[in-house]
Copies of this chain bind each other. A is one copy, B any other.
Amino acid sequence: MTTDPFAWTQSLNTLFAQVWNKLSRGVHDRHAPARHPTLATVDAGGAPQARTVVLRAADKAASSLRVYTDAQSHKVAELRATPAAALHVWDSAAHLQIRLATSVAIRTGKDVSDIWDKMPDHARLAYGSAPAPGMPVPEALGYRKTPDPHAFAVLDLTIDSMDVVHLGPDHRRAAFRRDDGWAGHWLAP
């Protein structure tokens, strides 16, 4: 038995498993660092955009993640044009950075009505806004939020690759790729 709390950094297998532990914790624990990752996209002008999102699901078998958003938001327009997103988590207690390169599918309408139907009223308030999110309003509260199933979008993120860094007494960095079955290899940090 080791007492090293960072023993999981020693091998590619255990590092990869820890990434999925952290992502799963993000879905189930509202205080976990992976609960609120940063989602980066590219806008119409070719510039990067980044914002906090809430992690809703993590499927290790499929190597996919799920996020909800207002279908009228800028990020959805950006993802329709460039369906690639980087998802970033910094877990300060674990000294762990997780960077995910993903391909994004946008699902709306009947395709996600099963999720909408099970959502409580207070949660539905996040989807449906007049004017749309990011549009100018004459004063701070000059908008209305009205739950609208047509404004509900699910972003399904298929992970293509991971870049994982642990900052310890020795730094370790590894890359994992879907196309080699997530075997992984070490990188210089």
Contacts and interface: CB of A to CB of B under 8 A. Distances in A.
Interface of A: 10, 36, 38, 40-42, 46-52, 82, 84-88, 90, 92, 97, 99, 101, 129-143, 163, 170, 172-175, 185-189
Contacts of A97: 51-52
A141 B170 contact: yes
A46 B42 contact: yes
Contacts of A92: 36
Copy number in the complex reads 2
A144 to B, nearest CB: 9
A50 B186 contact: no
Given A10-B140, A133-B188, A143-B189, 9 more contacts: A36-B92, A40-B40, A42-B42, A42-B46, A48-B84, A50-B50, A52-B90, A133-B189, A134-B173
A147 B52 CA distance: 35
Contacts of A10: 140
Contact of A86 (B47, B87, B131, B141): B47
Contacts of A170: 140-141
A185 to B, nearest CB: 6
A134 B47 contact: no
Nearest to A166: B140
A25 to B, nearest CB: 16
Contact of A186 (B38, B82, B137, B186): B137
A167 B187 CA distance: 39
Contacts of A52: 88, 90, 97
B82 A46 contact: yes
